[in-house]
Structure 1
């Protein structure tokens, strides 16, 4: 188990190093997924603060979503985080997939954020 966690941390660090070079001062859209839910945050690394966040755990979304663990929920979360970011004045971000491959729910969240108006 510890070996798997070390590999996951290594993959996450590799992605973050590449993002730091490509960011050019843009905030990063960070994704975290579990077997039951998906979470997204837009983080300003220069200030060290979270600008906006959204997750499938929010009360108003739980009633409208069938489950928090499918691509429809991920797309909804992507649109919601994009809407909140645009309200805060953030329109360009860099996408941080973490240790996850760009497929399935992670890809659906990114597509939802693009549909919502974020550029990356």
Structure 2
């Protein structure tokens, strides 16, 4: 099996294992992170009803202006700040962090720290 397919399969296994323990509630929804090769996405999800309450991604022009030459980590920081702003505007202060099977390192860590600086608690 090619190494990239094996790595993807192992990430999904880790994500499923984490999801059995991490669940969002109306009082404390889940902040879910997905990382692709070029972009990063974040959602605040209430798992009791299956609704996405807030979302942000590095593809959005409001989050990352197209003129900026920001690297991936800088874009992750902007996404973390944006998701914190959008969640706070909906009255969400506390979340459960779901790293999506990724290591708490690099872009995932930068996004989490930016969300904390933006006012989210987890």
Q: Quickly name the TM-score band, shorter chain normalised.
A: 0.7 to 0.9
The structure where helix makes up a greater share of residues is 1
User: Where does structure 2 lack aligned partners over 5 or more consecutive residues?
Assistant: none
CA RMSD of aligned residues (A): 1.8
With normalisation by structure 2, the TM-score equals 0.86
Cα distance per residue 1:68-100 (max 9 Å; x no partner): x52111111001000000000111000000110
Partner of residue 41, structure 2: 39
CA distance in 2, matches of 1:111, 1:44: 21
1:62 aligned onto 2:65: yes
Cα distance per residue 1:15-34 (max 9 Å; x no partner): 112213xx665210000111
How does 1:1-120 map onto structure 2 within 5 Å?
1=2, 3-20=6-23, 26-60=28-62, 61-63=64-66, 65-67=68-70, 70-120=72-122
User: Where does structure 1 lack aligned partners over 5 or more consecutive residues?
Assistant: none
With normalisation by structure 1, the TM-score equals 0.87
